[in-house]
Amino acid sequence: MTEPQYPTDPQDPKEQQYPAGQQYSAGQQYSAGQEYPTGQQYPTDPQYSAGQQYSATQQYSAAPTYAAPQYGPPKSNAGWAVASILFFWPIAFAAFNHLHDIYPKWAMGDHQGAQYASERVKKLGQISLLIAVICWVLFIAFYVIFLVAIVSSVDSYTYN
């Protein structure tokens, strides 16, 4: 078995000899010792063309920002659950139910469920506060209307 001969000088294409039996880009086969043709054109990479200019500086879009990783369960928002008892107690049942689901969901690996339960407790507390404020505003408005109605219905009495 003969050993293939490789070119001695890679810069000189006339001295390049290739091993026998190998097929090259034009589909031609060359035998050992045969010179490789020099005037043949080879296809270039289609995405690069001769004379194409590339700038050294490229502008990139800003890197995407991600939320900081959370190392513990989300806030329990227990204050909002207590506020729901004080302001509108029917909502407190749902608020405390979600409050007691936060840590078990976190411990089971349901991080999104725990975050949802935490946000839900806060939202229910805020809803109970809003309902309480609306009720107090309506109560004061009806009380003022009631007092105005009583005062306007009373005639002025004269004492002789």
Nearest Cα residue to 84 out of 137, 135, 131: 131
Q: Decide if pLDDT at 151 tops 70.
A: yes
Is pTM beyond 0.75 here?
A: no
Tokens of 122: 């806060």
Task: Say which residue, 35 or 149, is predicted with more confidence.
Answer: 149
Signed CA dihedral, 82, 88, 93, 95: sign only: negative
Q: What percent of the chain has pLDDT over 70?
A: 56
Mean pLDDT for the stretch of residues 135-148: 96
Residues contacting residue 111 through CB under 8 Å, at least 6 positions apart = 70, 105
Q: How many Cβ atoms from other residues are within 10 Å of residue 98's Cβ?
A: 21
Q: Tens digit of pLDDT for each residue in 36-72?
A: 566 656 555 555 556 666 556 667 677 777 665 657 8
Span 121-137, average pLDDT: 96
Question: Long-range contacts: 98-101, Cβ < 8 Å, 24+?
Answer: 98/124
Rounded distance, CA 105 to CA 76, Å?
12
